[in-house]
Chains A and B, each alone.
Chain A
Amino acid sequence: MKYRLILGLLLVGIFLQRLSAQNWDHYTPIQASGEIPAEFLSLSSFKFAREKENLNPADHHSNGKPQEDFLLQSQFLIDELLISGKVLFNDPLSLYLGKVADKLLASRPELRQELRIYAVKSSSANAFATNNGIIFVNTGLLAQLENEAQLAYILAHEIQHYLGKHPLNQYVETIRIDQGAGMFKRQSLDERLLAKTNYSRELELEADLKGLDLYLESAYDPAGLDQVFDVLRWSYLPFDEVPFSREFLQTEHITYPESYFLQSVSGINPEGEGEEEGNNHPSLNKRQAAIANRLASLPKSSKSHNLVGENEFKNAREMARFELSHLFYQQREYQKAIYNSYLLGRDHGHNLYLQKNICQSLYALARYANARHLGDVLQASSACEGEIQQLASLLEHFTDYEMTTVALAHTWDRHLEFPQDPDLDSLVNALLLEMVEHHGDFLDRLYRESPADSLPADPSNGDPNGKYDKLRRNRENEKYGEKGYIYSAFVGMFAHPDFRLRLENAKASFNQTDSTAHLTFRERKKALRKARKEGKSLGTDQIVMVQPLFQKIDRRKEIPVRYIAGETGQRTFTTMLSENAEMVGLGLNLLEVSRLQTSQVAEFNDIARLNDWISDRFAHDEVGGLLPPDQAEIDRLVQKYGTRYFAWTGTLSLTEKPNTYLGCFYLALVYTAPLGVYHLLSPSRNTLYFTLVYDLKTGGIALANLASIGAGARYDLMQSNIYDTLLRIKQKPG
């Protein structure tokens, strides 16, 4: 019985350990989970009013309006970030950050209660604190850290920013300097700029030193803590420096010429980035020295660098590094994405997530190369530092057809490795289509068999391996110069019947889409007009509208964005959408964070995914959009909401000074004088209404309704426009 109990406990232990360990082989990007925190859902204006009540009139910087302005702007900007989907909650990273904060503030439980700590999906190595006690830590920073103690110190630093109300003070001080108040009255512009920079640096140094005091109160070991500044110094580099293997993107039939690689890569700047003049942060060397001095005076301690646990730290860091691959891809930094996945791949072998990331990045590069926009997304090797330079050198040597070929060859190999994955499957088809569309001639010239075997031997020569046959084959192989290697790239792929079939399908698909090529100019124009006319209505009974936008900007004001009016308008706008949808008889599903209940985290994540999708759609406008990296997830959303049509809609209202030119023009026409007086006295107003309905199955725009009106966002104009848009969505074309 005793042995059974021990065995049972052992098995449960192993099970729990496996359960808690991240399954890297089936890694998916991190999402928020659990209950949505209340501060994500409550109104910004409500939070602003509460913060305003908490202002301390005895404070040195409490001079009324600037403080209120700061609270207003910061509250709305923070809330914008909170609902953007970039901020995670109840996820493994945020929970881990919370545990480190618990350890750090074990002796200050009341302070810990005040703080909320969230991980942010961002590749930038940064952390920041807000005036109301939120600390954001970017995944880009987590990915770079060496140990848990460094993270604890960064949290301590940010907590000091919060305690010292540094964001508020800095804003108020900047306003004072700009306005030339007090001692700044007689100072020149450059002196004022210097004063602002110095003040900011003072706050950073204060947070460093007071942060260290807070850190020392905890059970974390201070030894070697100053190395955290090295992390910050070189945080712009990938998380590791490992030589890029020349064989990495090679296949059995692709071997790159030696000239594509650098003999040696450039060294790393010993001072790192961000040491330039005018930077608001003091020199990292100075900060590091200040902390090192303090640490030198401390007695040696027997404390630990890892209170939560080394494995937990490494697990969280690895997750952050996995996230980076996806983030770099989203930010169109494809070299970094490939190199990041390459680095992670050393420990994780042929990991599907990483391999997909590399294939998607190559696919994106091929699309940009074929659209002649590669320069927009490819960083020159001369601008890179360290080992990533080798990858940059290789990529910049590729012509558009080489890029497409390499992307296809690499993706095909990964498809063979993971034949069940639908995303890789779609990528192969998309790259084949790309090849057919842009490089049809090149495709015809490719070897279908190994060139040496495919050349027929000279029948007049009895010996097929004779001297002249060999020379002829060599000449054939080398006729394309150093680019000759690429003509054998498809030999392995052509051997697969499935590949040949896909290629034929791609050709057929391309010919089908190009069916208008033979039309005359007049016929094309007619076809276009017909398409435009038909595109004026959609004919669906169900639609999802994602996070409708309402913004008011008044350029006459000191703070042009009218936050409070915008929030009120936003609520009116969404109410109008619901009412008009009912009137039109359209099933409308409004996905808006402020309408969610705390338990609707799945919908919160859906909004985040859809916002990412639309950002991607706009980011790749030059190439007409890319395949989404996770079509399966998009298909799930289509199924969940019962429609393939998702709309992004909004109203942007702009108010400016009166249009005096127009006013004078009308005055000059005598009869239109009243109109002239009106234009001279009343501000110039313009409102843009937009609705873009996307078909998530195809990624294309199904319906677009844009209206720019020379008036404010009036009730009747909004009602009319909303009704019209929803009617177009509902009405069948024709």
Chain B
Amino acid sequence: MKIRIAILVLLMGLGLQGIAQHLVPGYQGKRNIFVAQYFAGSNFEYGAYSSRVSIIDSRFTLAYEAILSRRLVLDVTYDLARANLYRYLDRDKMFCHGPGFGFKTYPRGLPAPLGVNLSAGAKLLFVHSNDSLNLGSSSSGIWKTDTSNFGNSQIYLGIGYTNVIAKRIVFDYGLELSLPIWGVKTILGKYDPYENQRLRWFYHYLLNVKIGIGILAF
């Protein structure tokens, strides 16, 4: 039932933006963009541990962007991420995926989607970890290899720049800061059983450099 409502709300949102869209210029009348983005960057551990590189993140994102007004773009994404955790002797590898929803604003003189933009939104991440997991502290010596699925959600803030490099090809780049908020129970798997592992995500902020290439569809 909840899923149906969510889908309904999404469709209504898209319908409303479709109505609003015909009033905005877009890029020469093109107001819908499909973008493939690649995020990469080192992630610093924060809080309980000393600040140092702890995760190397590598993420592909497929995004649909709808230009809502001269200054506002709706951003619907789906992330596919591969994260390598470096913590003491750990070499944990995790695969994450999940949907995201956000907005981009274009505060400068040109109409969206060109120029400098600020982005903000939220993402759900479904994490599949299937490598070695440290169940206790590093000194306990208790090691276990297991597969674990858990959910996590983040908000993200970004700054980027978009330009059109050919008639319908969009190129964008920028920086994005993801802030994990809380773990959620995933619809695809069981809830994270390991407090320690959940905290890993919880206490990390993820600063990535992104580049993307897209198509001005219609």
Contacts and interface: CB of A to CB of B under 8 A. Distances in A.
A613 interface: no
B10 interface: no
B217 interface: no
Given A672-B175, A709-B108, A720-B111, A727 B164 contact: no
B115 A723 contact: no
Contacts of A589: none
Contact of B163 (A674, A689, A708, A716): A716
Interface stretch (B23-31, B77-85, B182-190): B23-31
A723 B47 CA distance: 50
A721 B110 contact: yes
Contact of A708 (B23, B29, B109, B111): B109
B70 interface: yes
A715 B207 CA distance: 32
Given A707-B110, A716-B114, A717-B114, A723 B175 contact: no
Given A671-B207, A672-B175, A714-B163, A723 B28 contact: yes
B203 to A, nearest CB: 19
A647 to B, nearest CB: 17
Given A671-B175, A714-B163, A720 B25 contact: yes
A719 B167 CA distance: 10
Interface in B135-170: 163-165
A672 B109 CA distance: 23
B29 A723 contact: yes
A498 B27 CA distance: 56
Given A580-B28, A709-B109, A727-B25, A720 B114 contact: yes
A731 interface: yes
Given A709-B109, A709-B115, A720 B207 contact: no
B28 A720 contact: yes
Interface size class on chain A is 20 to 34
Nearest to A580: B28
Interface in B26-55: 27-29
Contacts of A727: 25
Contacts of B114: 716-717, 720
Contacts of A194: none
B124 to A, nearest CB: 26
B108 A719 contact: no
Interface string A116-155: 0000000000000000000000000000000000000000
A674 B161 CA distance: 14
Contact of A720 (B23, B110, B165): B110
A583 interface: yes
- For the residues of B in contact with A, the DSSP-based class is loop
A724 B164 CA distance: 15
A581 to B, nearest CB: 12
A716 B111 CA distance: 11
Contacts of B70: 724
A584 B109 CA distance: 21
Interface size class on chain B is 10 to 19
A374 B28 CA distance: 47
Interface in A689-734: 689, 706-711, 714-717, 719-721, 723-724, 727, 731
Given A671-B207, A672-B175, A709-B115, A717 B27 contact: no
A273 to B, nearest CB: 47
A716 B164 contact: yes
B207 A724 contact: no
A538 to B, nearest CB: 14
Contact of A724 (B25, B115, B175): B25
B27 A720 contact: yes
Contacts of A584: 29
A671 B209 CA distance: 9
Given A672-B175, A714-B163, A716-B164, A723 B25 contact: yes
A402 to B, nearest CB: 47
Contacts of A715: 164
Contacts of B109: 689, 706-709
B40 to A, nearest CB: 13
B29 A583 contact: yes
Nearest to B170: A716
Contacts of A674: 209
Nearest to A537: B23
Nearest to A584: B29
A719 B164 contact: yes
Interface string B12-29: 000000000001010111
B69 to A, nearest CB: 11
A709 B28 CA distance: 18
Contacts of B165: 716
Contacts of A711: 115
A672 to B, nearest CB: 7
Given A724-B25, A731-B23, A709 B110 contact: yes
A714 B27 CA distance: 14
Contacts of A671: 175, 207
A670 to B, nearest CB: 10
A729 to B, nearest CB: 11
Contacts of B27: 716, 719-720, 723
A671 B177 CA distance: 11
Contacts of B209: 674
Contacts of B29: 583-584, 723
A586 to B, nearest CB: 13
Which of B114, B163, B164, B209: most chain A Cβ within 10 A? Answer: B114
A193 B163 CA distance: 50
A708 B110 CA distance: 8
B175 A719 contact: no
B90 to A, nearest CB: 25
A590 B163 CA distance: 28
Interface in A644-700: 671-672, 674, 689
Nearest to B161: A711
A422 B28 CA distance: 44
Contact of A719 (B28, B115, B207): B28
B179 to A, nearest CB: 15
B209 to A, nearest CB: 8
Given A714-B163, A719-B27, A731-B23, A724 B111 contact: yes
A708 B29 CA distance: 22
Contacts of B28: 580, 583, 719-720, 723
B11 to A, nearest CB: 27
Interface in B196-218: 207, 209
Nearest to A714: B163
Which of A671, A707, A716: most chain B Cβ within 10 A? Answer: A716
Contacts of A714: 163
A689 B114 CA distance: 14
B68 to A, nearest CB: 15
A724 B29 CA distance: 9
Closest 4 CB pairs of A and B: A707-B109, A716-B164, A724-B25, A723-B28
29 contacts: A580-B28, A671-B207, A672-B175, A689-B109, A707-B110, A708-B109, A709-B109, A711-B115, A714-B163, A715-B164, A716-B27, A716-B163, A716-B164, A717-B114, A717-B115, A717-B163, A719-B28, A719-B164, A720-B25, A720-B27, A720-B28, A720-B114, A720-B164, A723-B27, A723-B29, A724-B25, A724-B70, A724-B110, A724-B111
Given A674-B209, A706-B109, 12 more contacts: A584-B29, A709-B109, A709-B115, A716-B27, A716-B163, A716-B164, A719-B28, A719-B164, A720-B27, A720-B110, A724-B70, A727-B25
Interface of B: 23, 25, 27-29, 70, 108-111, 114-115, 163-165, 175, 207, 209
